[in-house]
Amino acid sequence: MKTPIVVYENGDVSIFRSVADAEVGLESIDVINDEYVAYDATGYLLDLKVISESRSAWFGFSKTYVNRVKIELAEGRPEHASDLEYVLKAFLQKLGVPEDWTRSASLGQLLDKTIESIGYG
């Protein structure tokens, strides 16, 4: 996976510097409810899963289970680059970036402009 990681949720976009940052930043309940669509920087669709991990509690006398998000590649080739471009163009236009600019921008330029506009999540 190539970073940054882009997460789309109901017209909104979040950008994460790394897979680890995205795994920590995404809410497991939203993953369970299929509220996110995630891509790497080249347009690979990412598979978001919730895994349950046991952790020791009460000084090791009992266990508690914690859900956490796990991100993996969902496909063998970056077949969703056009979907990612569409998401970023629509989001940037919503932020006021002119359509003329977004129409001719490359995926890399769209990512850079999004990061410049909203920063990292």
**DSSP characters for 90-107?**
HHHHHTT--HHHHHH--H
| Domain boundaries along the sequence of the chain | 5-118
Measuring CA to CA, which residue among 2, 14, 31 is closest to residue 121?
14
Q: Is the dihedral of CA 66, 67, 68, 71 positive or negative?
A: positive
pTM for the complete prediction?
0.89
Measuring CA to CA, which residue among 54, 67, 72, 55 is closest to residue 27?
67
Residue that has been written with the tokens 């994460």 in this structure: 16
The model's pLDDT over 64-115, given as tens digits with 9 standing for 90+, comes to 878 999 999 999 999 999 999 999 999 999 999 999 999 999 999 999 999 9
The model's pLDDT over 35-63, given as tens digits with 9 standing for 90+, comes to 999 999 999 999 999 998 877 777 767 77
Residue 5: CB atoms within 10 Å: 27
Distance CA 121, CA 105 (A): 23
- Report the half-sphere exposure of 68 (CA within 13 A, side-chain side): 14
